[in-house]
């Protein structure tokens, strides 16, 4: 099979499409012929050497994709050759063939394309647990979404709006601010001096309660203290990423004095079983097919053009999903 591989850590130029041995089934696994593969920033970190990789080169990136089941291990039940499936946690996905544990397989309904599945699963499952488990968004809630033009951010905006919340999105450029509004946010503010004050003013204009949002979803990290300032007394900050750098240390006395809540989020603590994955994925697919969740058209690159795809995601110009196409 062909796979996008690298043998040394470095920039996008270390990536190359090569012929490698086909992967071998193990008990409890399924072999999937990929039709679309999701590119995520974690792939960049792995290519650079920021994340520890197991084994010897050549290394194959990728954890998310969709395709057709080509073979199943004898002990696998309920999955058939020819099934259309997606997956969001299977290594070495930047290849024509991928071995996926059977409990990580997500069946695809007829109305969901391979491109849609590969573009929504990882980020969509994240947005789903954040808005239902980390903080159960309710009608009338005032919500702040950091990095709202990004993949998870745009999904958070839409899922919160579908729940009846008021949403303010934060963005890093005027073009991204416009894309946040296009995704359905009630308001959008650019990062810079005074963004927390702008959030407080927006909140105060909505009602006569104490200014401040009910919840801020913070994936930037360095913004954590300003997020606390932007939520009201007894408000919540959900920390689920540090795209802008490590967060500051939080003094628990501040939490006590303001009755504010800090909670963390990691997807893999919320999709521990096949039932978890399928239940949440089904909810996402239903929202997409019902028109409540709209995805921006993905940017497509051939698998052989993986280096160009990495250059583009590192440029921070993307506002939608990037897919590699075998």
The pLDDT tens digits for 136-191 are 999 999 999 999 998 899 999 999 999 999 999 999 999 999 999 999 999 999 99
pLDDT at 318 over 80: no
Question: Cβ–Cβ contacts within 10 Å for residue 84, how many?
Answer: 18
pLDDT at 7 over 80: yes
Domain termination site, one of 218, 240, 264: 264
- Do 299 and 283 have their domain in common? yes
Predicted pLDDT at 242: 86
- Do 250 and 279 have their domain in common? no
Lowest average pLDDT, out of 142-146, 167-171, 257-261, 293-297, goes to 293-297
- Do 34 and 92 have their domain in common? yes
User: pTM of the predicted model, to two decimals?
Assistant: 0.91
Here the CATH number for the domain that contains residue 189 is 3.40.50.720
On whether residue 133 sits in a domain, the answer given is no
- Do 259 and 277 have their domain in common? no
Total domain count for the chain?
Answer: 2
Tell me the C-alpha distance between 223 and 246, whole Å: 9
Predicted pLDDT at 319: 66
Residue 134: exposure state from Cβ atoms within 10 A (0-12, 13-18, ≥19): buried
Predicted pLDDT at 56: 85
Domain termination site, one of 248, 264, 280: 264
- Do 301 and 199 have their domain in common? no
Averaged over 52-75, what is the pLDDT? 93
On whether residue 128 sits in a domain, the answer given is no
Question: Ramachandran region of residue 105, left (φ > 0), alpha (ψ -120 to 50) or beta?
Answer: beta
Question: Cβ–Cβ contacts within 10 Å for residue 170, how many?
Answer: 32
Averaged over 204-219, what is the pLDDT? 91
- Do 260 and 273 have their domain in common? no
- Do 200 and 287 have their domain in common? no
Averaged over 245-273, what is the pLDDT? 93
On whether residue 80 sits in a domain, the answer given is yes
- Do 20 and 109 have their domain in common? yes
- Residue from 125, 46, 122 nearest 88 by CA: 122
On whether residue 134 sits in a domain, the answer given is no
- Do 160 and 248 have their domain in common? yes
- Do 87 and 113 have their domain in common? yes
On whether residue 50 sits in a domain, the answer given is yes
On whether residue 129 sits in a domain, the answer given is no
Backbone angles phi, psi at 90, to 5 degrees: -135, 120
- Residue from 33, 32, 92 nearest 57 by CA: 92
- Do 292 and 222 have their domain in common? no
Q: Which domain holds residue 252?
A: 139-264
Predicted pLDDT at 243: 82
Return the residue matching tokens 């290394």. Answer: 59
- Do 24 and 80 have their domain in common? yes
């Amino acid at each position: 099979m062909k796979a996008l591989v690298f043998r040394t850590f470095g920039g996008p130029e270390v990536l190359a499409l090569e012929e490698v041995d086909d992967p071998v089934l193990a008990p409890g696994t399924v072999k999937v012929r990929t039709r679309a593969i999701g590119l995520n920033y974690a792939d960049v970190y792995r290519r650079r050497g920021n994340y520890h990789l197991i084994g010897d080169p050549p290394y194959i990136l990728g954890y998310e994709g969709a395709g057709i089941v080509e073979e199943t291990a004898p002990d696998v039940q309920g999955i058939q050759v020819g099934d259309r499936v997606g997956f969001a946690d299977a290594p070495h996905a930047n290849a024509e063939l991928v071995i996926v544990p059977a409990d990580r397989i997500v069946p695809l309904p007829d109305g969901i394309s391979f491109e849609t599945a590969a573009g929504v699963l990882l980020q969509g499952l994240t947005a789903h647990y954040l808005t239902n488990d980390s903080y159960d968004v309710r009608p009338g809630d005032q919500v702040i979404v950091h990095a709202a033009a990004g993949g998870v951010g745009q999904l958070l905006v839409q899922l919160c709006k579908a729940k009846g919340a008021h949403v303010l999105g934060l963005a890093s450029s005027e073009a991204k601010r416009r894309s946040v509004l296009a995704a359905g946010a009630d308001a959008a503010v650019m990062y810079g001096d005074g963004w927390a004050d702008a959030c407080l003013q927006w909140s105060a204009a909505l009602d006569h309660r104490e200014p401040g949002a009910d919840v801020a979803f913070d994936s930037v990290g360095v913004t954590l203290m300003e997020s606390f300032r932007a939520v009201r007394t007894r408000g919540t900050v959900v920390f689920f990423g540090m795209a802008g750098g490590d967060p500051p240390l939080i003094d628990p006395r501040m939490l006590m004095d303001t009755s504010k809540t800090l909670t963390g989020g990691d997807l893999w603590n919320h999709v521990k079983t096949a039932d978890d994955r399928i239940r949440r994925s089904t909810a996402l697919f239903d929202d997409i097919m019902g028109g409540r969740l709209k995805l921006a058209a993905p940017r497509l690159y051939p698998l052989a053009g993986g280096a160009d795809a990495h250059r583009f995601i590192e440029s921070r110009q993307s506002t939608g999903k990037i897919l590699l196409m075998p």
